[in-house]
Amino acid sequence: MSSSNGTMGVGAGGGGGGSDSRFFTTQKKGEMHELRLELHSTDRNVKVDAVKKVIASMTVGKDVSSLFTDVLNCVQTGNIELKKLVYLYLINYAKSQPELTLLAVNTFVKDANDPNPLIRALAVRTMGCIRVDRITEYLCEPLGRALRDEDPDPLAFGDFKRIGIVRLLYVRKTAAVCVAKLYDIAPDLVQERGFIETLHDLISDSNPSVVANGVAALSEISETSGRDVMRINASVLQKLLAALNECTEWGQVFILDSLAKYTPAEAREAEGIIERVTPRLQHANSAVVMSAVKVILSYMDVMAGGRGGGGDGAAESIRALTRKLAPPLVTLLNSEPEIQYVALRNINLIVQKRPSILENEIKVFFCKYNDPIYVKMEKLEIIIKLVNERNVDQVLLELKEYATEVDVDFVRKSVSAIGRCAVKLERAAERCIGVLLELIQTKVNYVVQESVIVIKDIFRRYPNRYESIIATLCDNLDTLDEPQAKASMIWIIGEYAERIDNADELLDTFLETFEEEDPAVQLQLLTATVKCFLKNPEETQDMVQKVLDLATEESDNPDLRDRGFIYWRLLSTDPEAAKLVVLGDKPVIEDDTFRLEPNLLNVLVGQIATLSSIYHKPPEAFVVRANRGPTGGDDLGLGDVGEEIEEGDEEEDYEDENDVNGGGGSGGGDLLDMGGLSVNGNAAAPTGPVAGDMFSLSSPAAAAVDPAALMSKVCAPEKSGGIELWAGFRQVGGSVVMELDVRNVSSNVPVSNLAIQLNKNSFGLSPANQQIICNPPVPLGGSGRQSVVLVVNPNMLVQVPDGQPASPQIQVAIKNITTGLVFYFAANFSLDALFSADGALERAAFIESWKSIDDKKELYGTVGDLPPHSTDIDQVAAKFKMHRIFLIARRPVPNAEGQEVAYFSMRTTTGMVFMAELTFKKGVHAAKVCIKTEHVAYGGLAKRTIESMKALGVALYEEVAAIESGVVCSFVEAEAFAAMRCSIIIRSGLTAGNVPEGL
């Protein structure tokens, strides 16, 4: 976040300039002692130079934390330059020396009341940058005053006039940014002190720079909390538009980004805002230009929707805006290469959204000789998107010229672009092929190979139309040495074998080096040889036999072997069926020029001028953010569970607060208000499963031994008032149970009474009783295990979007009834806790179900580094059975000595069936896992469950090995080892009768 709040550095203040570089020269030995003496000097200039030396050493990575107290003593000064330097040092070392940093608090508070606004702002800014919890309580009062700071008197402060900020309310705009920093440390404190409301008041400030910083702070808080705290209405909108013309360029960026997130009520309002924003398109700062483009593109959708307007008038307005957007985008291409690249990545999205904006400007994307390669590559992508039948001849001439450049990657991309033009434009395909043939005649190796690759795509796009050029391709067969080019040429030979007189001879030349070829080439050779055999069986029988032998007996590639076995069986049982399968009509390929999904494209267009628009990925794909938010106003103060998740949790999409709070029941109450929770613990729980409901939780007989839950730390003590929480899930007596280890690390108040609630989740789980009684209470230093029974409630189920995997996360809110503190965490659910005891399918039913499920719904994985007992199917089946995963059948793999396959089934209490295939090979400490299910969204969780169980076997084996290799030196150590063995046995769910040797 940029805020124009002044610069703090080695050269801060007066007269340093370039001469400050002397402070970065290497110091002689004993410099710390000399610096300490200089820091205590009575000469102000010597002291300033000493602090500069310290800052320079800190900047180049030297550890100068030993001088902390000496530098801290220099903070008591009226010299702004020295104060800035000391504050910079404090910010850097505050985390490593938090206790000593508190010694500077009095100086911060004193400076926050200084008559000089520069010093007031500096104190507040520094306190906000020091991320130490105990500092925040001292920050609130100075920050509250700074947010209401009065206008400075320009006559009283000559310095203000000298540096040209008489009219800028430095204190207030600095304080606005500080609120966002404080929210990141202590969001509840910001809410309690009403700082967010104060920021809303700053939007009405008379100074546009203050307005811009207020908007920036609110935007930052919105992103951090996941809530829309900006709340733009008609009044705020007018103030933002008024400030837009007067604030700094970065202030304009913040305001424009906020406007882009606002949805106008009607088309007329959108047009009015666009009219006020359009002048920003001529701004000298490219960030302002791109933000303005983002606003206009977003509002054009509103205008096209026709709310409150529309018709021919809206269409004409959109055409006029389209003409206005082209010049500023073209101007950006005259900037430095780095800015050009960023602009091109954004333009790539814009032309996919609205190609008409730049359809007449394709020439500006033609590459210059001195463009960097990354700029040239992006220009080629945009050229392909803008090419049409009117300009294709011009584009082909340009691409042909590029194909003679010296940069190999650029040449390949250019040749590929010619092929993509052919695929995109049917009428121009013949001209594109003509250019490719001319390039092949150059005999340049990489040009020929890339040409063959793209011609294969043209053949797939337009089958049986341009086969006359095959002879030319065959003449260049000897120049092909890259796998992709070879595979493409082999595909062409196999596909059109009946039109090539010596197709079998050409394929035979590749077979001589079959075993050394890349897997892609081997697969194409196998398929092409089979095609050739089906078209000319008399002359190619020996060749196809040779290829099938190589593929099935000599190759270690499972894909190649599987395909070889399939072809072999097809050819040996029903050659006519083989013709239908192998020689059948294939769907033509489609043009993928505009390959982004519409929904993703809309998201990315809304992120123009951010990293998302450069990566072409939504923010959640590469940013992990801690979602923090103030507590809500429900009865127990739990608010929305989804708003408080510890940083580092998996990024998943959850229902928004309106969906969550709306619930699905008959009432309009808050899902998280824990209604019905009584002091006596007689909470209103679901009365029982609904008859016939697929989500009803059955209660089958429990297994003889219920495996222990695998516990993981989910909440640190600093997040929950000194209480550390570990959580895990398991099944006990047919019921799903969340096990909670409550450890009182630093709370003087014993933990005795807790309230729990779950957010909507992928499994529909909620607590049967929201109250947790710790009996006995957990004292300071103590711990206790609590079991929370979970039931399946259809109203708590989050519907998984099509094509997306189900999230394993369970978001939880817990309130300490004694202290009133609410804390939040997320725990990953273990799917085997939902597996039922009747999950064993009949063999015939298993086979029928396995065959009926489309192969596209299969999920594959591999578990490696397994100990010997985890590759023994009998031991694996015994262990899986304890987790209600049942062995159905096992068989050896034909023609694969030492390989064996085992099939398992499992069924959840909600009716989902999963089938697993595990493949083992003698002597190989690994296993392949294949999962089949109609519930594809949950298939990944089932696969992860299988893999984690086998991985657990690895962990147990390693722990046993560590124990057995240790030397027991004392009785105490012997007891410790015995306890560890017991822990391993309990965690693995083993009983006394099935403990492996060594345990």
* pLDDT at res. 501: 82
* pLDDT at res. 381: 93
Q: Show Cβ contacts of residue 728 under 8 Å, excluding neighbours closer than 6 positions.
A: 708, 709, 710, 711, 712, 738, 739, 827, 830
For residue 444, is pLDDT > 50? Answer: yes
For residue 692, is pLDDT > 70? Answer: no
* pLDDT at res. 291: 92
For residue 233, is pLDDT > 60? Answer: yes
Burial of 690 from C-beta contacts in 10 A (0-12 / 13-18 / 19+): exposed
For residue 831, is pLDDT > 50? Answer: yes
Q: What is the mean pLDDT of residues 798-816?
A: 87
User: What confidence tier does 151 reach under pLDDT thresholds 50, 70, 90?
Assistant: low
Of 812, 817, 843, whose CA–CA distance to 829 is shortest? 812
How many CB atoms are located within 10 Å of the residue 36 CB? 16
Q: What is the mean pLDDT of residues 123-146?
A: 83
User: What confidence tier does 203 reach under pLDDT thresholds 50, 70, 90?
Assistant: confident
Residues 942 and 808: beta-carbon distance below 8 Å: no
The 10s digit of each residue's pLDDT in 880-891 is: 888 889 999 988
For residue 288, is pLDDT > 50? Answer: yes
For residue 981, is pLDDT > 50? Answer: no
Burial of 9 from C-beta contacts in 10 A (0-12 / 13-18 / 19+): middle
Q: And the tokens for 9?
A: 């550095």
Of 760, 805, 757, whose CA–CA distance to 659 is shortest? 760
Q: Which is more confidently placed, 963 or 625?
A: 625
- Percent of the chain past pLDDT 70, that is, above it, reads 80
User: What confidence tier does 36 reach under pLDDT thresholds 50, 70, 90?
Assistant: confident
Sequential DSSP letters for 97-164: -HHHHGGGHHHHHHHTT-SSHHHHHHHHHHHHH---HHHHHHHHHHHHHHHTPPPP-TTT-HHHHHTT
- Percent of the chain past pLDDT 90, that is, above it, reads 22
Phi-psi region of 759 (alpha: psi -120 to 50; beta: other; left: phi over 0): beta
* pLDDT at res. 22: 60
Give the phi and the psi of residue 655 in degrees, each rounded to 5: -60, 145
The 10s digit of each residue's pLDDT in 246-274 is: 888 888 999 999 888 888 888 888 888 98
For residue 5, is pLDDT > 50? Answer: no
For residue 628, is pLDDT > 90? Answer: no
Lowest mean pLDDT among 146-160, 785-799, 822-836, 963-977: 963-977
Say how far apart CA 420 and CA 382 lie, in whole Å: 12
* pLDDT at res. 491: 92
Q: What is the mean pLDDT of residues 409-435?
A: 93
Lowest mean pLDDT among 41-45, 226-230, 455-459, 721-725: 226-230
Q: Whole-number mean pLDDT of the chain?
A: 78
Q: What is the mean pLDDT of residues 702-715?
A: 71
Residues 733 and 702: beta-carbon distance below 8 Å: yes
Q: Show Cβ contacts of residue 334 under 8 Å, excluding neighbours closer than 6 positions.
A: none
Q: Which of 14-18, 101-105, 157-161, 822-826 has the highest mean pLDDT?
A: 822-826
The 10s digit of each residue's pLDDT in 50-95 is: 888 888 888 888 888 888 888 888 887 778 888 888 888 888 888 7
Residues 886 and 842: beta-carbon distance below 8 Å: no
Amino acid in the structure at residue 406: V
* pLDDT at res. 419: 93
For residue 157, is pLDDT > 80? Answer: no
* pLDDT at res. 562: 92
The 10s digit of each residue's pLDDT in 651-668 is: 333 333 333 333 333 333
* pLDDT at res. 990: 39
The 10s digit of each residue's pLDDT in 97-116 is: 777 777 778 888 888 888 88
User: What confidence tier does 10 reach under pLDDT thresholds 50, 70, 90?
Assistant: very low
The 10s digit of each residue's pLDDT in 461-501 is: 998 888 888 888 888 888 888 999 999 999 999 988 888 88
Of 834, 815, 817, 833, whose CA–CA distance to 825 is shortest? 815
Q: Which is more confidently placed, 958 or 555?
A: 555
* pLDDT at res. 656: 37
* pLDDT at res. 24: 59
* pLDDT at res. 300: 87
* pLDDT at res. 999: 32
Q: Which is more confidently placed, 673 or 387?
A: 387
Q: What is the mean pLDDT of residues 279-296?
A: 91
Instruction: Count CA atoms within 13 Å of residue 58 on its CB side.
Output: 22
* pLDDT at res. 703: 37
Residues 413 and 407: beta-carbon distance below 8 Å: no
The 10s digit of each residue's pLDDT in 369-390 is: 899 999 999 999 999 999 999 9
Q: Which is more confidently placed, 971 or 368?
A: 368
Q: In the sheet where 913-921 sits, what is the strand order?
A: 858-863, 927-932, 913-921, 899-907, 886-892
* pLDDT at res. 19: 58
* pLDDT at res. 392: 93
The 10s digit of each residue's pLDDT in 755-775 is: 999 998 988 899 988 889 888
* pLDDT at res. 627: 44
Single pTM value for the model: 0.59
For residue 222, is pLDDT > 60? Answer: yes
* pLDDT at res. 386: 93
For residue 160, is pLDDT > 80? Answer: no
Q: What is the mean pLDDT of residues 218-222?
A: 87
User: What confidence tier does 181 reach under pLDDT thresholds 50, 70, 90?
Assistant: confident
User: What confidence tier does 869 reach under pLDDT thresholds 50, 70, 90?
Assistant: low
